[in-house]
Structure 1
Amino acid sequence: MKNRNHVLTVVAIIAILAILAIFIYYYKRDGRKSYSWTETYKIDEKQPYGAYIISELLKGTSDDHTFEVSKKAIRNYDFGAYKGTSNYVFIGSRLFYSEVDLDSLLSFVSKGNNAFISCEDSPSVASILDYLLDIDCDHYFWFVEDDAVDLNLPEYALTANKKYEIDHIKRYKRYTQSWLTFDSLDCDTNIRILGYVNDDNPNFIEVPYGQGFFYIHSVPDAFSNLHMAHEPGLVYAEKVFSYLPEGNIYWDEYSKLPNLSNDSNRGQQESPFKYILSQPGLRWAWYLLLSLVLLYLVFQAKRKQRTIPVIESNTNTSIEFTETIGRLYFQQNNHRKLGLLKMKLFLEYIRNHYHINTNEIDENLIQKIVTKSEVPFESVERIFRMYNRINKITEVSEELLINFHEAIQAFYQNCK
């Protein structure tokens, strides 16, 4: 009996070490933090392709209005619960509407409200355009194959050349993907093109419906935490959502999931087990569960331990840099800290766009920036003068912070 227990102990140790080795290999093999790279666009997800930052941005713009997160089908929304103009927002890889859900959304917009939909799945977008465009219209799609593209909003000057570059990253590497754009929109003169991919491929359109409007956007990557964690991404998102009027916001979490929103197609969707195996995090959780069950069967413990309470992990352990940006816009009241972070982003912009070494901040650096950006010396010098003041004092006034922000924004708008 003693030898048998010894063997079982050795087997258990080997099994546990094997499981740990698998996790270390797949999630820690490059020495960097392990993130989930699944494109979920979930509102509470702080991983690279979650939608935590954009949701916080929208909450911050609706202080006088309601921000409601809906986890039920559109057909069950109580759109009449709040007075005034309202905006429906969906950001996700795919849409799962039933016909009843789509009819409810069309009715909501026709009454003078608005719907913003950012989706990269062409069949999902086509199902909406079928209702919005003329029945004889061929709304073909075009795909741009690249690992990075420029997003352009002609009505806004995001940078000097009016473009914002985003790339498709998985596990810290760029990968080529098919970026969805609209190819033929000549059939309906009511369509207004608001944004482009690489200058000539429409990806953001406004379509009137009844007394309201649909805003269709085909690159949800732009609103992921990965890209919203940087200043250009925040600026782009602010400009895109500026087309929506102020009002209540209905954030749709439900329609991102299969097997839920379209009840008539439940039998045609993939099984839950297949979905679990398709997601890296869920797959390894499943393997771990099977391993633990196996260990339990091997040991068949002679006594039961009392239940050990589960200690929830800290909420600030994933993507700390995104929470810093989130606090920048919605939570932080430390003006000095905000000013220093603003300067850090400004210097990063200078390094990336003009290839200037910013380690030494002196008059020589200012002159190099003036020469390459073609911004007047007084404007650039004013930025560094206010920065020196913010860096030296402990209490920064709101007025100084606002002036500092406006000076940097003026630089972005006028630099070459």
Structure 2
Amino acid sequence: MSSSSSNRILITATVCIVLLVVFVLAYSPKPIDWSLSYSKYDTKPFGNKLLFELLPVAFDEDAVKTSHGTFDEFFSDFETEATNLIVINNEFSPDETDIDTLIELLNQGNNLFLSASSMPDTIRSLFKIDYQERYGAGDFFLDSISFNFSNRKLRTHLGYWYKKAISNNYFTSYDTLSTSVLGFNNLGKTNFIKVKYGLGHVFINLNPQAFTNYNLLIKDNYEYAFKCLSYLPNQATVWDEHYKYKYLVHNYESGGQRSILSFILDRTPLRIAWYVLLIGVLIFFLFGSARRQRAVPILKPNINSTVTFIETIGRLYYSRKNHMDIAKKRFSYLQEYIRTRYYINTSEMNDELYQQLADKSSIPIRAIKQLFELGNNLSNMQRISEEDLEQFNRRIDFFYEQCQ
């Protein structure tokens, strides 16, 4: 057998081994990790990856920065004029230096959004607050808890319900002269406040689990998280990644030092990439590398973040196969569109209103009647198929196209 044939066989065998390793690492079943994280890098239930990726919907994408160090380290090299600081974690225990930095930021007119279940006495006395921590059995999470807002424009009739994986912490005292109540639970206990401090404001929410991946995907609960963040102005925003639960635990266990390798091995995608890199380096040294042309960078087009947000939420609903919920929402939005554009009350449609709508929209009255009959029949049905949803969706799209 020639040397070239031997090399080809060796290369083929090496590539097959690499593919096999990647396949095993990527597709081997792994148990769900329910540990607390609150990190923007984690897709686990109690990570904040989904919230962070959707932040550009609420704030300008270029204005969102991430702090991986202490507040003193980060803001020493960062322009602090008109800045939002977002801190979401199970526990928030800054040192004295960072507390002094926070006070300086607030006195300059910056804003702090803080969501944590536990805070030390220094933070409680600083903002003149006290609260009650409430968990379920085994000091974990309760279920069937509802959160709502004091502002009528943000409040919903039934509130935002959490069936599990949620705490029910609430404030027991606060300074009424400098504090505004922004939200409460289903028992009427205050759990979300705004504190005036210096020239800035502190927004404190006691239930950080409401902002995690798991709870953002439950019904419309993503609205609660973004309504809370809507109190922050659209300006430069800093996401804290330093005071995360995972970071603090690792620092405690390792005596305050964290290696880069441990950071890589803690995350599945980075761990797979690390192993593939090692194997690739081995192949490179064994067989050398061919000269390649420098890659031409691809310029990504500007993205409409509003459309991206709507598409993301649409995929969330569609992935749950809740065709009935999608159909009802589509019909509800259609009714609101008719009320605002044609000033026709769609709650009790009759032949006269059908004729008015047909005259104003130039759509045959027969098509309008059929559309509303399908929409009104949704309340009498338990579920609909994907084909029924597509047919109903085509009728609504036809209506919008003819109205243009």
Shorter-chain TM-score category? 0.5 to 0.7
RCO comparison, higher one (Cα < 8 Å, 6+): 1
1:347 deviates by: 3.0
Distance in 2, matches of 1:247 and 1:327, equals 20
Per the normalisation by structure 1, the TM-score is 0.56
Distance in 2, matches of 1:239 and 1:50, equals 12
Farther-moved stretch of structure 1 (208-217 vs 86-95)? 86-95
State the secondary structure of the residue aligned to 1:185.
Answer: strand
State the secondary structure of the residue aligned to 2:172.
Answer: coil
**Is the Cα–Cα contact under 8 Å of residues 73 and 255 in structure 1 kept in the other structure?**
yes
Residue type at the aligned position of 2:307: T
Distance in 2, matches of 1:128 and 1:308, equals 56
State the secondary structure of the residue aligned to 1:305.
Answer: coil
Indicate the residue corresponding to 1:156 in structure 2: 152
Listed as ranges, the gaps of 5+ residues in structure 2 are 31-35, 42-47, 313-325, 334-368, 382-392
State the secondary structure of the residue aligned to 1:252.
Answer: strand
Give % identity.
19
Indicate the residue corresponding to 2:135 in structure 1: 143
C-alpha deviations, 1:5-34, integer Å up to 9, x for none? 466335314312312422552499xxxxxx
**Is the Cα–Cα contact under 8 Å of residues 145 and 161 in structure 2 kept in the other structure?**
yes
Counterpart of 1:102 (choices 99, 103, 110) is: 99
Indicate the residue corresponding to 1:306 in structure 2: 291
Residue type at the aligned position of 2:157: N
**Is the Cα–Cα contact under 8 Å of residues 87 and 247 in structure 1 kept in the other structure?**
no
State the secondary structure of the residue aligned to 2:135.
Answer: strand
State the secondary structure of the residue aligned to 1:214.
Answer: strand
1:269 deviates by: 4.1
Residue type at the aligned position of 1:89: L
Distance in 2, matches of 1:15 and 1:323, equals 44
C-alpha deviations, 1:20-76, integer Å up to 9, x for none? 422552499xxxxxxxx985337xxxx95241323332339xxxxx94636475435
Distance in 1, matches of 2:298 and 2:116, equals 32
Is 1:88 the counterpart of 2:93? The answer is no
Is 1:52 the counterpart of 2:49? The answer is no
Is 1:347 the counterpart of 2:330? The answer is yes
Indicate the residue corresponding to 1:132 in structure 2: 127
Is 1:239 the counterpart of 2:227? The answer is yes
Distance in 1, matches of 2:11 and 2:133, equals 60
Counterpart of 1:292 (choices 280, 303, 318) is: 280
**Is the Cα–Cα contact under 8 Å of residues 152 and 195 in structure 1 kept in the other structure?**
yes
Distance in 2, matches of 1:22 and 1:269, equals 31
1:284 deviates by: 1.7
C-alpha deviations, 1:349-387, integer Å up to 9, x for none? 79xxxxxxxxx9634345457999xxxxxxxxxxx9x96
C-alpha deviations, 1:112-168, integer Å up to 9, x for none? 543222346x35x7763353236xx5x44223525775332243365753412457x
C-alpha deviations, 1:237-260, integer Å up to 9, x for none? 55324544x574432356457889
State the secondary structure of the residue aligned to 1:69.
Answer: strand
Mapping of 1:325-344 within 5 angstroms? Answer: 325-326=308-309
1:204 deviates by: 1.9
Q: 1:344 to 1:315 in 2, by over 3 A?
A: farther
Q: 1:328 to 1:16 in 2, by over 3 A?
A: closer
Indicate the residue corresponding to 2:13 in structure 1: 11
**Is the Cα–Cα contact under 8 Å of residues 160 and 220 in structure 2 kept in the other structure?**
yes
Q: 1:284 to 1:252 in 2, by over 3 A?
A: same
State the secondary structure of the residue aligned to 2:278.
Answer: helix
Distance in 1, matches of 2:161 and 2:331, equals 15
**Is the Cα–Cα contact under 8 Å of residues 60 and 234 in structure 2 kept in the other structure?**
no
Over aligned residues, Cα RMSD in angstroms? 5.3
Residue type at the aligned position of 2:39: T
Indicate the residue corresponding to 1:282 in structure 2: 270
Indicate the residue corresponding to 2:238 in structure 1: 251
Residue type at the aligned position of 1:364: E
Distance in 2, matches of 1:313 and 1:219, equals 41
**Is the Cα–Cα contact under 8 Å of residues 39 and 49 in structure 2 kept in the other structure?**
no
**Is the Cα–Cα contact under 8 Å of residues 86 and 238 in structure 2 kept in the other structure?**
yes
Per the normalisation by structure 2, the TM-score is 0.57
Distance in 1, matches of 2:371 and 2:331, equals 16
Residue type at the aligned position of 1:391: Y
Indicate the residue corresponding to 1:332 in structure 2: none
1:103 deviates by: 1.3
Indicate the residue corresponding to 2:45 in structure 1: none
For these two proteins, the number of residue pairs brought into alignment is 321
Larger Rg: 2
Indicate the residue corresponding to 2:371 in structure 1: 362
**Is the Cα–Cα contact under 8 Å of residues 85 and 240 in structure 2 kept in the other structure?**
no
Distance in 1, matches of 2:25 and 2:293, equals 23
State the secondary structure of the residue aligned to 1:346.
Answer: helix
